[in-house]
């Protein structure tokens, strides 16, 4: 029995192995991913983002518990930023979610961005597919919380949750960063702190001005929670279900799937061209190209055009 078949049967060790291959050596995993693709696309994908320190991981921890109480298998892809100096990542979500590691119906994978912008790792899409094939529904994607670059989560998820905290000006920062435009649900976490009601009111005021016209527009929910006390979690998962029904009712689910497929496809295409370009640059044809750029013997524009032409000829 091959690896993909074992994943489809719910074997957790095979799932872990394939996810490791996807992240470390994707070329080895391609054939298995081809077999899994037709078995994916049915699970709800929940993206959770927000500023650092908003309590995203604690919130995810409670959402996992909520779905497990409903008998669902849950997959989590938690992305941590990569250090620009060491190349490593803390991967702290393994610590914060440790209560679920003994549960065979919960799979949590922490990965590093490895320099990829947009709040997601380049292998995020593939890992979501593996978790779907394993049987997870929902799959939760927690992003690094890097502000303006968080918009990729909208293409990957069907429902995007933006987590804020009161008293830190997050609602103003969110408006600046464009976060208001990507949220399907706002969660004001740590709402036992002073200023929570004001934060909720501020978000609602912005939404009042930004609401699109239409017969059945989705108005983002603005919910309060105290994640460490497990307060407000039922309301969050109920809102996720309501948003899913709205997507189906308004024929928008296919559009979300299209955005997800597009992001995944272009990520794969980018990696292939990046690999081919690197091989060309390391060949004798472009010997000492970096040195020649530094010394202004080449200009980067002509070099890029020459590489493009060679890649096109290789494709022929």
* Of residues 120 and 185, more confidently modeled: 185
What is the model's pLDDT at position 239? 98
For the chain, give every domain's residue range: 42-250, 265-315
The helix/strand/coil state of 173 is helix
CATH number of 42-250, picked from 3.40.50.720, 3.40.1190.20, 3.30.43.10, 3.40.50.300: 3.40.50.300
What is the model's pLDDT at position 156? 83
The helix/strand/coil state of 232 is coil
Q: Residue 99: is its pLDDT beyond 70? A: no
Length of the chain: 316
pLDDT tens digits for 66-93? 999 999 999 999 887 544 333 444 444 4
Chain centre distance of CA 22 = 15
Which of 250, 263, 39 is CA-nearest to residue 129?
A: 39
Which of 312, 273, 305 is CA-nearest to residue 286?
A: 305
Strands of 159-164's sheet in order across:
106-112, 74-80, 139-142, 45-50, 159-164, 185-188, 221-224
């Amino acid at each position: 029995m091959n690896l993909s078949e074992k994943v489809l049967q719910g074997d957790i060790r095979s799932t872990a192995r394939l996810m490791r291959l996807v992240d470390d050596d994707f070329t080895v995993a391609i054939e298995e991913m081809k077999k899994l693709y037709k078995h994916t696309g049915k699970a709800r994908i929940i993206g959770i983002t927000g500023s650092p320190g908003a309590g995203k991981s604690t919130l995810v921890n409670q959402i996992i518990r909520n779905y497990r109480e409903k008998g669902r298998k849950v997959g989590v892809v938690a992305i941590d930023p990569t250090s620009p100096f060491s190349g490593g990542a803390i991967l702290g979500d393994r610590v914060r979610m440790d209560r679920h590691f003994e549960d065979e119906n919960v799979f949590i994978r922490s990965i590093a961005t490895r320099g990829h912008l947009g709040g997601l790792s380049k292998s995020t899409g593939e890992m979501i597919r593996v978790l779907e094939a394993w049987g997870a529904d929902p799959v939760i994607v927690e992003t690094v919380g890097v502000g303006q670059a968080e918009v990729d989560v909208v293409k990957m998820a069907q429902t995007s949750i933006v987590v804020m905290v009161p008293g830190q000006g997050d609602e103003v920062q969110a408006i600046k960063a464009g976060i208001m435009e990507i949220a399907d649900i706002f969660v004001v976490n740590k709402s036992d702190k002073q200023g929570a009601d004001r934060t909720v009111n501020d978000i609602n005021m912005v939404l009042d001005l930004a609401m699109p016209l239409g017969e059945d527009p989705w108005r983002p929910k603005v919910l309060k929670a105290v994640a460490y006390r497990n307060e407000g979690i039922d309301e969050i998962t109920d809102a996720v279900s309501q948003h899913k029904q709205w997507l189906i009712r308004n024929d928008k689910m296919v559009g979300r799937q299209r955005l997800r497929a597009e992001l995944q496809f272009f990520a794969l295409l980018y990696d292939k061209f990046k690999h081919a370009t690197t091989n060309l640059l390391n060949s004798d044809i472009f010997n000492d190209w970096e040195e020649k750029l530094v010394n202004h013997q080449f200009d980067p524009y002509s070099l890029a055009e020459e590489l493009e032409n060679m890649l096109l000829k290789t494709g022929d």
